[in-house]
């Protein structure tokens, strides 16, 4: 028996294990599996299916007067279908236009399905065609990407190093051919108009995002930026203004030791201890505190008005005790003076939440809504590097405070 062969799919075939011994006992194997029911030197396969494919082996014993040996024959069976009677089917490209970017490399793929043929010689290539001529494009060798009993899918590629205006005027043709005939699929390149617009849009969006981020950072750190500018500018706006004090501090003189905000610090502690410690000792401002700096004698109301006139800023520590007590007179007097004195600026400190009483003068109510307000946040605001003191410095006069850090 031949040691190899191919059998075309047909209703029935038989395999013979020929020998010189008459009717030997034969052992058959298919793909290494014993065919126990087959013992004769011929196998009748009957109708052929895919599972009949494989390697068949037959063994039988032959002997003479002095010795015996095993004889083996092998045949390779491959099941196939009938040759196709149709032309190739192009799977890619599936569209007739392709958007591309000028100046960029481009790869064009041509993929086709070929029906089965015993003598399989597929032809797959690209052509380019303009108004004058049709030329074959250098194409990579077709490679099989999928194979079955009935067909095979082959793919090739053409590479353009750079897409030019001339390429936009060409027609690119995917060409597939077998022994039955050929099939083509044309594709036209089209410039991608949206690319420039996309870049412009992306650039605009990034610029706007950068501006918004810069604006947000500027808003968050505006006070620090101003203070840094003042540090390097070395400007002193207090020179020649004929003012004696940088700030007059007003607070409720009869507030309880523990404030309603739940802080362990009272308004007196803030006014008499922390303000001098930070604004005077650290940053060199001159403050006026009634309990500390008021000379004995004189009319109280007149003294308050005169002191406020000599001050560049008025700092008012607001609380329920303040707006409901006699100290609110100091805020009212300062508001009246500020209307005529452009160098006098008022700063409100919200020491704890309060409700405006009905008896509060209209001018004071209006001032509470328009004047700059800084919120005291209890122990969190105590350190000299806290946000509270940074805001205070922002509203204080610009001074050349050499020797203070």
The CA dihedral of 315, 317, 321, 325, to the nearest 10 degrees, is: 0
Among the listed residues 186, 184, 173, 177, the one whose alpha carbon sits nearest the alpha carbon of residue 84 = 177
Q: What are the residues facing 68 on neighbouring strands?
A: 63
Q: Are 184 and 175 in contact (CB under 8 A)?
A: yes
Please give the Cα distance from 262 to 265 (Å, whole number). Answer: 9
Neighbouring CB atoms inside 10 A of 170's CB total 19
Cα angle: 396, vertex 398, 404; to 5 degrees: 90
DSSP state of 277: I
* Contacts for 222 with CB less than 8 Å, ≥ 6 apart: none
Q: What are the residues facing 339 on neighbouring strands?
A: none
Residue 148: HSE in the Cβ half-sphere, 13 Å Cα cutoff: 6
Active site residues: 330
């Amino acid at each position: 028996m031949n040691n190899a062969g191919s059998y075309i799919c047909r209703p029935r075939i038989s395999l013979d294990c020929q020998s010189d011994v008459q009717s030997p006992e034969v052992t058959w194997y298919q793909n290494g599996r014993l065919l126990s029911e087959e013992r004769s030197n011929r196998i009748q396969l009957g109708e052929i299916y895919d599972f009949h494919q494989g390697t068949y082996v037959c063994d039988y014993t032959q002997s003479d007067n002095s010795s015996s040996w095993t004889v083996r024959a092998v045949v390779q069976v491959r099941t196939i279908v009938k040759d196709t009677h149709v032309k190739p089917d192009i799977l890619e490209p599936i569209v007739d236009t392709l958007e591309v970017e000028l100046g960029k490399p481009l790869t064009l793929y041509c993929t086709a399905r070929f029906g089965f043929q015993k003598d399989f010689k597929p032809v797959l290539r690209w052509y380019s065609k303009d108004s004058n001529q049709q030329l074959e494009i250098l194409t990579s060798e077709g490679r099989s990407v999928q194979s079955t009993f009935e067909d095979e899918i082959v793919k090739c590629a053409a590479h353009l190093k750079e897409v030019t205006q001339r390429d936009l005027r060409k027609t690119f043709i995917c060409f597939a051919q077998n022994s039955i005939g050929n099939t083509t699929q044309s594709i036209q390149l089209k410039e991608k108009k949206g690319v420039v617009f996309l870049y412009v849009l992306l650039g605009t969006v990034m610029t706007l995002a950068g501006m918004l981020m810069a604006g947000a950072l500027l808003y968050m750190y505006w006070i620090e930026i101003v203070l840094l500018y003042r540090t390097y500018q070395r400007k002193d706006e207090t020179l020649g203004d004929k003012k004696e004090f940088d700030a007059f501090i007003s607070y409720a003189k009869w507030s309880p030791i523990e404030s309603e905000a739940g802080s362990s610090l009272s308004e007196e502690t803030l006014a008499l201890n922390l303000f001098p410690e930070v604004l005077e000792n650290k940053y060199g401002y001159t403050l006026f505190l009634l309990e500390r700096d008021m000379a004995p004698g004189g009319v109280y109301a007149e003294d308050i008005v005169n002191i406020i006139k000599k001050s560049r800023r008025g700092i008012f520590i607001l609380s329920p005790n303040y707006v409901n007590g006699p100290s609110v007179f100091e805020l009212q007097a300062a508001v009246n003076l500020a209307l005529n004195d452009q160098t006098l600026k008022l700063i409100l400190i919200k020491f704890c939440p309060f409700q405006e009483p009905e008896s509060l003068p209209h001018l004071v109510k209006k001032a509470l809504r328009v004047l700059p307000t800084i919120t005291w946040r209890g122990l969190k605001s105590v350190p000299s590097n806290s946000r509270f003191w940074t805001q205070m410095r922002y509203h204080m006069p610009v001074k050349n405070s050499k020797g203070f850090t």
